[in-house]
Structure formats: C-alpha cells, structure tokens
Amino acid sequence: MRQTKIDDFLELERRIEEEVNRSREKDKILFQQAKLASLGEMIGNISHQWRQPLMEMNSIFLPIEAKITLGQSLENSEILEAIEKLNSITKFMSDTIDDFRDFFLNDKEKTRFKILEQINSIINIVSTGLKTYNIKLDIIMKKNPEIVGYKNEFSQVLINIINNAKDELISRKIENPYIKISVFEENDFVIVTFEDNAGGIRVNPLDMIFEPFFTFEKKNGSGIGLFMSKLIVEKNMQGKLKAYNKNDGAFFEMKIPKE
C-alpha cells in the first residue's frame, strides 16, 4: 500500500517534469518565431539608417569632381578632408550593421554589461526611424549600472518596447511625440522605465498585452513582442516587467536584480 503511494508520487513528479520541459520547448520555439517576426522590421530600420549616409557619401566628392572637370586647381587638404568624411561615414555604417548582427546572435552565456552600452547600440538601430516621425527620444540616466545577463536579449526588450510606443505614436498621430527612458538604481535592483505620450494602453485587463499572440488595433502585429519581453526579463533575468497607464501614455517598468 505504502509502496503504491510512493510510486504514484514518483509518477506524478515525472509527469510534472515532462510538462515543464514541454512548456520550456514551446517558449523556445515562440522565442525563435518572435525573432523572425522582428527581422522584417529590423531590415526596415537598416534601410532608414543607411539612406542618409549613402546620400552624404554620394555628395562628398561632387565638388572635387566639379573642380577637376573645370580644370581648376585642387588642394590636397580638400581631398584629405573628403576622405576623412568618407571614413567616418563608413565607420558609422559598419557600426550599425554590427549592432544589427549582434542583435540577431543568440547569447551563449551570461555576461556582465553596462546598461548604457546596450542603450547606445539600440539608439544606433532606432534613431533614424524615430527622427523620420519627429519622435523625441529622451534618455535619463541617473547611474550607469552593470547587470549580469544576456545582453542581446536585454536589447531586444528595449527595442520591442520602443517600437510599440513608436507604432502607437504614429498610428494615433500624436503631436510632439516622445519616448522617455529612465535608468536608476533602487536597493539591489536596476530599474529601467519607458514612458510615451501616445494615449495609453486601451486593453482591459491591461495585462493581456503580455499574452502570446495578443495584438490590438494593429495592421501587422504578431502579438509576440511583449510576451517575449516578459519571458526574457522574468525567466532569463529573474526580474519583473510591468505595464501601467500614466499621465498621457503607457508606462513600462523593468526591474532587474543587480546580481
């Protein structure tokens, strides 16, 4: 009698483990899907980010070419200056493409990284897209804390939240649109908050936005962005990701333990 109970218990334990593993596998697949879904958006970002420097490159040598055609004398310094400009533009382009590549690499191991570094690489990815719509991006860093975790995944969360705010600011045609990111420390936690003035999350209950495939009032939403973000913050970084409405927009708070 006793033995059967123990057997039952072991069987139950085995089944629970099986189910947990299965649900982890599901999360992994969803995660990969989410990355693919954001690929299209990222390519859009690259083309935005490269258009301007390509145009600048095009025009750098125009005055030099004109002088040569007109048979005018040309200073070495003019040529050197043009070459220097060209170098700085190609460096910018190469940095952006590196940031994109990093973004799509899977982090193999946890590392210690500075929040500001990741924020900077995000800015390299989204800035031109935001400028196109006159969206102001404010970053307020009271500290530049370090955290331990998967840094590309961390960036992915930032991009998801920024892109969501951008989507709403554009589709609701908000005047003087802005996104404000603040970074500070509180006890043993690093806190990153995101605010916008797009009018807030119009979903009730609000936490539905974190469910997989939940998308609302969007043409091409897959509904994976926030689900994936929560997974990254809460399962992989042992933190918390929460959403509220505040003032005239949405407010996201990401709380991550320092160690």
Ligand X SMILES: Nc1ncnc2c1ncn2[C@@H]1O[C@H](COP(=O)(O)OP(=O)(O)OP(=O)(O)O)[C@@H](O)[C@H]1O
Whole-number Å distance between alpha carbons of 213 and 136: 29
Running DSSP on this structure, what letter comes out for residue 251?
A: E
Q: Is 164 in the site for Mg ion (CB under 5 A)?
A: yes
Q: Is 225 in the site for Mg ion (CB under 5 A)?
A: yes
Candidate segments 44-52, 97-105, 135-143, 200-208, binder of ligand X by CB under 6 A: 200-208
Beta bridge partners of 242: 253
Structure tokens of 107? 């982090």
Whole-number Å distance between alpha carbons of 218 and 46: 22
Q: Is 250 in the site for ligand X (CB under 6 A)?
A: yes
For ligand X, the binding residue among 196, 197, 232, 233 (CB under 6 A) is: 196
165 makes contact, choosing from ligand X, Mg ion, none, with CB < 5 to 8 Å by partner type, with ligand X
Candidate segments 112-120, 158-166, 203-211, 230-238, binder of Mg ion by CB under 5 A: 158-166
Q: Is 137 in the site for ligand X (CB under 6 A)?
A: no
114 makes contact, choosing from ligand X, Mg ion, none, with CB < 5 to 8 Å by partner type, with none
Binding mask 64-93 for ligand X (x = CB under 6 A): ------------------------------
Q: Is 201 in the site for ligand X (CB under 6 A)?
A: yes
Q: Is 33 in the site for ligand X (CB under 6 A)?
A: no
Whole-number Å distance between alpha carbons of 130 and 134: 6
| 214, 223 Cβ separation under 8 angstroms | yes
CA nearest neighbour of 44 among 214, 150, 163:
163
- Whose Cβ is closer to ligand X: residue 191's or residue 198's? 198
For residue 52, give the amino acid letter: Q
- Whose Cβ is closer to Mg ion: residue 151's or residue 166's? 166
CA nearest neighbour of 50 among 86, 82, 89:
89
CB of 110 to ligand X, least distance (A): 25
CA nearest neighbour of 139 among 154, 119, 169, 156:
119
Longest dimension (CA), the chain: 105
Structure tokens of 157? 């969360």
Q: Which residue is nearest to Mg ion (CB)?
A: 225
For residue 20, the tally of other CB atoms under 10 A from its CB is: 10
99 makes contact, choosing from Mg ion, ligand X, none, with CB < 5 to 8 Å by partner type, with none
CB of 233 to ligand X, least distance (A): 13
Number of residues that bind ligand X (CB under 6 A): 24
Phi, psi torsion values for 107, nearest 5 degrees: -70, 130
Binding site for ligand X (CB under 6 A): 37, 160, 164-165, 168, 196, 198, 200-201, 203, 209, 214-218, 221-227, 250
Applying CB under 5 A, which residues contact Mg ion?
164, 225
